Structure 1
Amino acid sequence: CFRDEDARADRSPGEFYQLDIEMAFVSQEDVFQAIEPVMAGVFNEFADWDGKGREMPQGPFPRIPYREAMEKYGSDKPDLRNPIELKDVSEFFKDESKTGFSIFAKITGGGGKVIAIPAPKASATQSRKFFDDFDKWAKKEMQAPGLGYARLKAGDDGVVVSQDPVLKNFDPEHMKAFLEATGLGDGDGVFFSAGKKDAAYKLAGAARLKIGEELDIVEQGVFRFCWIVDFPMYEWDEDNKKVDFSHNPFSMPQGGLEVLEGADTDEKKLDILAFQYDIVCNGIELSSGAIRNHRPDVMLKAFELAGYGPEVVEEEFGGMLNAFRYGAPPHGGIAPGVDRIVMILAEVENLRDVTLFPMNQQAQDLMMGAPSVVDDKQLKELSIRLQLPPKK
């Protein structure tokens, strides 16, 4: 598959291999039932490769709605080997008279979020440097204002308290309610990511992964799969101050034309879910898929809600619309990435390590010396003229 994408540790620039599956007259459930045995079978087959003795759990893959994944794990690619779950504790910081902590009161008062990231038994096992280093990491690596923290310890009376600024001045009953809501107790630590919703969850998700690794509580020798489902059809485009497509504009919205016609406010548009789904294993997205939109009336209405008139859709996607008008069956599919599957099975962190002819960050194949310079004769045959920047 060739695609205009930048290079990442889990993505080769421009090209990759995938097992592309498209099926007619299927529902989302049909796709799940078809692909799960294939994925489980492959990982079962190679679980003990090279004597590694890894486990592929039996049974259906867990299904996690997108919004739940973001709220619990701060990511739509959750690594379920990590037992840490995030908790929105914004409500606990709104009343400064109960917390004595004005910073978070201002953030929540302005519509922001405070997300708690538990660090199980970190207070009992780690020094203060462990916590301070995470604050430095947040500032340096994540370009965030910081990462608050609190260390919890039971006093002689058995009451759990903290001497760190975030929780130090909590009213006793308020503290008790906070601990019950978060499941925290004596010897635990907790970090806090605060700010605008998206930024707070992004930092919290990254901190969750790092905390799990630093505390060595990430399960080893197992493949933890899940489906991420119920992706939002639309999202808010902050730059252009409008609703736009969040991921795949050609997916079928859940509820079809009826739900699109009823979305007469931005809030209702943002509540629309799509039949889109991902397979994730150990925090790596292995596959994306969707039930495709096969109806021209639904397609035109979906684009209209995002601010694109029928003339735009006809000009940009006229071929697809015409095909739908002649008649297309309901259809859906999915495409597991072969390179990423091999990457996980081989236990390497970079896709280049399992790619036969890997490219560098500039999408150059150094072994083949490609791409090479195109000579003038070849350009002339194709009526192409180059206007290169002047040499410095």
Structure 2
Amino acid sequence: MGEALKGLKRTIMCGELRESHIDSICTVMGWVQRKRNLGGLIFIDLRDRTGILQIVFGEEINKEAFEKADTVKSEYCIAITGKIVRRESANDNLPTGMVELKGESIKILSESETPPIYIKENLDASENIRLKYRYLDLRRPDMQRIYVIRHKAAKAVRDFMDSHGFLEIETPILTKSTPEGARDYLVPSRNYPGMFYALPQSPQLFKQLLMVSGFDRYFQIARCFRDEDLRANRQPEFTQIDLEMSFVEAEDVMDLNEKLVQYIFKTILDVDVKLPMERMPYKIAMEKYGSDKPDLRFGMEIENISEVVANSEFKVFRDALDNGGSVRAIKAENCAGMGRKQIDKLTDFVKTFKAKGLAWIAYKEGEIKSPIAKFLSEDEMKAILNKMNAKVGDLILIVSDAKNKIVLQSLGQLRLHLAKELELLKNNKEFRFVWVTEFPLLSYNEEENRWEAEHHPFTMPMDEDIQYLDSDPGRVRAKAYDMVLNGEELGGGSIRIHVSSLQEKMFEILGFTKEKAWERFGFLLEAFKYGPPPHGGLAFGFDRMVMFLTGTENIKDVVAFPKNQNAFCPLTEAPNVVDEVQLKELGIKTK
């Protein structure tokens, strides 16, 4: 049985007590971290979300309280009143380590069974157990620190946006299904049998409508939903810092958002983010790093050695070049001594990205070792080393293919793989930001034989490329921009199309008939008849940003009640069946 408070008030949090509180009478409340009975003295470490305080009970202080304290166990929820005194032996590892509370009275507010997981930092337990007992997992101090930072980050966003003239406006959660990428989550309507709402994948259309409404500057910390297969660090429901601005060009949006990020990192981590952030066109990012989200914390950039081996008799290179492909390489410094088994593993790795193989050159003291040396002249081999700026001890890794996409992706992934294998980033605490710009507007889906929007159908083409929309759509670049941090996309956005005729042209290229475009997006096209302003915006992945701010690599750590990799909640066992009565009201039968 638990005792009632009966008017007892907590006067201070456990982690706030310091030497300045000595001789004061305090009431603290929290959970028992541990209890130690040393005969005439009982010590209890009491924990709340601010920290741990040592409490001492003695028979000579209050015998009744001493005997009651002896009955408590780990995770009992208790309230204690007493006097703050100086600890005889200080604990330098605790902020409260100079003081302790002499317990004069104790209430057991509720008892606890033995928890199925330990309430301690850096818990080593299976993910499903942690998620099933998430309320206990969240009691752990390292988890609670994450949510303090998440709260402060959200507040920093609101403070910054408010100071820059933005209005926080909520957009609907129940809306119309307009799937363009991932599947929508659908919600059946009781009032309109056979019809469905959709949960928003983002507030994209509504924030554009708010620009038409004349609000100029909108933002929202928005919940978004995508019914997609969960890859690493994806959740079916997630949070965005969503914003839109009127009468702006790309540089205006980028300038404001890098200042926002600078403010957040300074406020939360006291880290100075240098501005302006580097800009890198998409084409350069792909050619140098094999990725549209390049990690700039280490070198190992991709070099095109096609010209160097253009006249080579090596059939593998020759076939790639004759069929419009390329030969490219990366340099792993001081790795010439890498064993054949290790290189074979790297070969298997690039094959998972459709590369046919991996050629290599080990530049050793006094010799050049390579399985392709017999196919290349001495001059060609030296030319490759010169092109790669290789030094003695370096290892050159080469991929060739008729499809440049395969060459770039496999070397880009190999670059990241080697950085982990060689522990290049083990003690790297830097934050390397870069804007990737000038994305392709469209990509061609060979399976479905049609063009698709690289970002979304509302992205404005570069002015000088609009002329190629009909003749060469693949050449058209977008007024799109992604902020990348340490190889992860932190946020992305674009200048939007605000002219009805151009928006309809975009739908036409994407394969929509005029009727289909109006059926799906008619409310936006209709709004564009009434003087829409030029506008653009961006959305940050707030969960991912909090991961960087807290130093965790698992998105589930920064979402209070996440789903597992199968989009299932072990805590509530959702999704689950519902009553037949509910289904009948909705006019739904399940198979």
Q: Please say if 1:119 is aligned against 2:332.
A: yes
Which residue of the other structure, out of 350, 357, 364, is the alignment partner of 1:146?
357
> Offset of 1:181 from its aligned partner?
2.2
CA contact (8 A) 1:162 1:168 kept: no
Question: Tell me, which stretches of 5 or more residues in structure 1 are unaligned?
Answer: 49-54, 156-160
Aligned length: 366
The alpha-carbon deviation at position 7 of structure 1 amounts to: 1.8
Q: How does 1:7-22 map to 2 (within 5 A)?
A: 7-13=230-236, 15-22=237-244
In structure 2, the gaps of 5 or more residues are 1-222
Q: Give yes or no for contact 1:78–1:283 (8 Å, CA) kept in 2.
A: yes
After superposition, the C-alpha distances for 1:119-170 in whole angstroms (9 at most, x for unaligned) are 112115x33443233123334x546433222211353xxxxx6331234542
8 Å contact from structure 1 (residues 340, 351) kept in 2 = yes
* Aligned counterparts of 1:217 and 1:358: Cα–Cα separation in 2: 31
Aligned positions of 1:240-259 closer than 5 A: 240-255=448-463, 259=465
Q: Does structure 2 retain, via aligned residues, the 8 Å contact 1:152–1:186? A: yes
Q: In the aligned structure 2, how far is the partner of 1:247 from the partner of 1:290? A: 9
Alignment partners' CA distance in 2, 1:147 and 1:47: 42
Q: What's the Cα RMSD here?
A: 2.2
Q: What letter matches 1:320 in structure 2?
A: L
Contact 1:233–1:253 (CA under 8 A) maintained in structure 2: yes
- Amino acid in the other structure paired with 1:229: T
Q: Give how far 1:56 is off.
A: 4.4
Q: Please state if 1:181 is matched with 2:403.
A: no
Judge conservation of contact 1:56–1:224 (CA < 8 Å) in 2.
Answer: no
What pairs with 1:293-304 in structure 2 (closer than 5 Å)?
293-304=497-508
Distance 1:333 1:21 in 2: 6
1:370 corresponds to 2:582:
no
Residues 20 and 336, structure 1, Cα contact 8 Å, conserved in 2: yes
Q: Distance in 1 between matches of 2:509 and 2:470?
A: 9
Counterpart secondary structure, 1:19: strand
The whole-number CA distance in structure 1 between the counterparts of 2:476 and 2:256 is 26
Residue pair 2:312, 2:376 contacting (<8 A) in 1 also: no
Indicate the SS of the match to 2:443: strand
| Farther-moved stretch of structure 1 (219-228 vs 85-94) | 85-94
**1:163-182 aligned within 5 A:** 163-182=369-388
1:86 to 296, 302, 327: 302
Letter in 1 for 2:421: E
Are residues 1:131 and 2:343 paired? Answer: yes
Contact 1:260 1:302 in 2 (8 A): no
Contact 2:301 2:331 in 1 (8 A): yes
1:220 equivalent in alignment to 2:428: yes
Give, in angstroms, the shift of residue 302 of structure 1: 2.1
Q: CA deviation at 1:182?
A: 2.1
Relative distance call for 1:105 and 1:63 in structure 2 (3 A) is same
Q: Please name the residue that 1:51 is paired with.
A: none
Letter of the 1:200 counterpart: V
* Displaced runs of 4 or more, over 4 A: 141-144
AA of the residue aligned to 1:330: P
TM-score, length-normalised on structure 2?
Answer: 0.58
State the Cα distance separating 1:264 from its structure 2 match. Answer: 4.0
SS in 2 for 1:212: helix
* Rounded Cα–Cα distance in structure 2 between residues aligned with 1:33 and 1:356: 32
Q: Which has the higher contact order (CA 8 A, sep 6+)?
A: 1
- Paired amino acid for 2:452: D
Aligned to 1:26: 248
In 1, distance between residues paired with 2:438 and 2:278? 13
Establish whether residue 384 from structure 1 lines up as the match of residue 588 from structure 2. yes
Query: Amino acid of the residue matched to residue 26 of structure 1?
Result: V
Name 2:198's counterpart in structure 1: none
Using the TM superposition, give the Cα deviation of residue 111 of structure 1 relative to its aligned residue in structure 2, in angstroms.
Answer: 2.1
* Greater Cα radius of gyration, structure 1 or 2: 2
Kept after mapping to 1: 8 A contact 2:465/2:475: no
Shift of 1:30: 1.0
Q: SS state of the match for residue 149, structure 1?
A: strand
**Contact 2:493-2:539 at 8 Å conserved across structures:** yes
1:382 and 1:306 map into 2 onto residues whose CA distance is 34
1:333-364 Cα offsets, whole Å, 9 max, x none, are: 11111110111222222211221101012212
Specify which of 234, 239, 247 is matched with residue 447 of structure 2: 239
What SS class does the counterpart of residue 236 from structure 1 fall into?
strand
Match of 1:35 in 2: 257
Query: Secondary structure at 1:356's aligned position in 2?
Result: coil
Question: 1:75 touches 1:205 (CA, 8 Å); kept in 2?
Answer: yes
Q: Percent of pairs identical after alignment? A: 39
Which one has a larger percent helix, Structure 1 or Structure 2?
Answer: 1
